């Protein structure tokens, strides 16, 4: 006897509900015998409910974007413009708030033009810069958390590097600073020639405000300036350019194009072409650190040390032009620049070759971490005073 053929074996694709025979699909409120079971809606279980209670609150909601696990090119560009817009809006809002407080204190005795002419707003420069930086950082932290909520890299990228990678990061500070300064000097020559050909470019020089730390040094303490110019920029910029834009571009368009494009965007954000030319090599090194260690703490550390060194230099009593003139004679020797570039290349190559050690994280107590930071700041201070001593 041959087995009975089923309709599906002969290609019968009719609706199963139109076929004869009993249906084995159970409807809600019925058991397999066909008897209806009354449903008590008060005790019904929501199938979408999880076993563990979901965390509530605005901070634990769904991510902001649904464009994929890692940012693509379009989202990276949006993050770039959003970061600049956040700083501009924060500066406007904080400035309006401080202006309202200023005129509330002085009343109608001082008008706006008189305040500008007599530099009455100058003591408010430090609160304005500090407030703008703080508001921008809080917004960036909120956006980063919302974008990568639940992403496995969110926790892994904030682990401390091991001792070897931390030491190599610290050794990058001096040669990388020499390369950035040399790049600035070379770009300055081309910029002066272009300004002679196109005098309108001189208006862009107003964007280059490099003596602000010297002015603020007379108003606030050095530690507060360190937070404004070193700590907050290091955290906020590394979150956006290495943690979001760089990670997305390197995985979407390749490592080398992604690093170069991210570093170019990092330089453009700093405004003036001379400043952009100086920070592009720094951006490349920061991204190489991030790719080698897999942690954002490492580029944040180098970024902080770089800004802290520049801050120490500008608050030591010399203006930016005086410091730059002292470095011209030092960097006129090609051997120093070539040796610095070779040292940076060797350190980055060593970081890449030891990238497997990034999985071995060092657990550091807050006291140990604080002692390390104080030691690094002390070393940078002694180095700057010795290098730029008259």
Structure tokens belonging to residue 131: 């407030």
Range with top average pLDDT, 6-10, 80-84, 250-254: 80-84
Q: Give per-residue pLDDT as tens, 194-231.
A: 777 777 767 666 656 555 666 666 667 778 888 888 88
Alpha-carbon gap, residue 106 to 128, rounded angstroms? 18
Whole-angstrom CA distances from 69 to 128, 251, 287 are: 37, 11, 20
Alpha-carbon gap, residue 97 to 75, rounded angstroms? 32
Alpha-carbon gap, residue 137 to 300, rounded angstroms? 14
Q: What is the pTM of this model?
A: 0.70
**Dihedral Cα 266, 270, 275, 278, nearest 10 deg:** -20
For the cut 80, the answer to whether the pLDDT of residue 170 exceeds it is: yes
Measured in degrees and rounded to the nearest 5, phi and psi for residue 28 equal -60, 130
Whole-angstrom CA distances from 2 to 5, 11 are: 9, 19
Asked if residue 289 lies in contact with residue 295, where contact means CB atoms within 8 angstroms, the answer is no
Asked if residue 354 lies in contact with residue 165, where contact means CB atoms within 8 angstroms, the answer is yes
Asked if residue 302 lies in contact with residue 238, where contact means CB atoms within 8 angstroms, the answer is no
As separate numbers, helices (DSSP H) first and strands (DSSP E) second, the chain gives: 16, 0
Instruction: Count how many Cα atoms sit within 13 Å of the Cα of residue 103 in the half-sphere of its side chain.
Output: 13
Domain boundaries, the chain: 161-387
State the pLDDT at residue 21.
44
Alpha-carbon gap, residue 222 to 311, rounded angstroms? 9
What is the chain's length? 390
| Cα Dmax for the chain | 111
Q: Give per-residue pLDDT as tens, 53-95.
A: 444 444 444 545 444 567 778 888 899 999 999 999 998 998 8
Q: What is the rounded average pLDDT for all residues in the chain?
A: 72
Residue with tokens 């989202």: 75
Beta-carbon count within 10 A of 220 CB: 17
Closest CA to 76 of 224, 361, 266: 266
Left if phi > 0, otherwise alpha if psi is -120 to 50, otherwise beta: which for 208? beta
Q: Give per-residue pLDDT as tens, 340-387.
A: 888 888 888 888 887 766 555 544 445 555 555 665 565 455 445 544
Beta-carbon count within 10 A of 33 CB: 5
Alpha-carbon gap, residue 39 to 46, rounded angstroms? 13
Alpha-carbon gap, residue 237 to 12, rounded angstroms? 63
Alpha-carbon gap, residue 32 to 184, rounded angstroms? 81
Average pLDDT over residues 1-18: 46
Alpha-carbon gap, residue 254 to 248, rounded angstroms? 10
């Amino acid at each position: 006897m041959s087995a009975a053929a089923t309709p599906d074996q002969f290609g019968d694709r009719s609706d199963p509900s139109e076929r004869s025979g009993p249906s084995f699909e159970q409807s809600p409120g019925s058991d397999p015998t066909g008897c209806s079971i009354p449903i008590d809606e008060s005790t019904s279980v929501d199938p979408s409910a999880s076993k563990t209670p979901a965390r509530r609150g605005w901070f634990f909601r769904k991510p902001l974007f649904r464009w994929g696990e890692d940012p693509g090119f379009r989202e990276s560009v949006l993050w770039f413009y959003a970061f600049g817009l956040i700083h501009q809006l924060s500066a406007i809002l904080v400035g309006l708030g401080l202006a309202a407080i200023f005129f509330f204190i002085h009343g109608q005795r001082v008008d706006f033009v008189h305040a500008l002419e007599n530099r009455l707003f100058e003591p408010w420069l430090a609160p304005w810069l500090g407030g703008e930086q703080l508001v921008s950082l809080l917004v960036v932290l909120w956006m980063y958390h919302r974008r990568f909520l639940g992403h496995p890299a969110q926790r892994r990228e904030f682990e401390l590097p091991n001792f070897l990678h931390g030491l190599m990061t610290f050794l990058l500070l001096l040669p990388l600073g020499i390369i950035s300064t040399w790049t600035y000097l070379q770009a300055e020559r081309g910029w002066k020639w272009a300004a002679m050909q196109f005098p309108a470019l001189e208006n862009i020089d107003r964007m280059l405000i490099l003596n602000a730390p010297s002015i603020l040094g007379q108003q606030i303490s050095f530690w507060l300036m360190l937070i404004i110019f070193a700590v907050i920029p290091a955290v906020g910029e590394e979150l956006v350019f290495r943690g979001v834009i760089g990670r997305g571009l390197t995985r979407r368009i390749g490592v080398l194009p992604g690093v170069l494009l991210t570093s170019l965007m990092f330089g453009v954000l700093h405004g003036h072409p001379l400043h952009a030319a100086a920070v592009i090599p720094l951006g490349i090194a920061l991204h190489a650190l991030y790719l080698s260690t897999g942690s954002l703490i490492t580029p944040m550390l180098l970024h902080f040390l770089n800004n802290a060194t520049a801050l120490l230099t500008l608050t030591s009593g010399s203006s930016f032009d005086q410091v730059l003139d002292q470095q011209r004679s030092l960097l006129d020797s090609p051997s120093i620049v070539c040796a610095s570039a070779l040292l940076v290349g060797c350190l980055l190559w060593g970081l890449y070759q030891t990238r497997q050690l990034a999985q071995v994280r060092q657990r550091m107590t807050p006291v140990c971490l604080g002692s390390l930071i104080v030691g690094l700041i002390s070393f940078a201070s002694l180095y700057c005073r010795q290098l730029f001593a008259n």
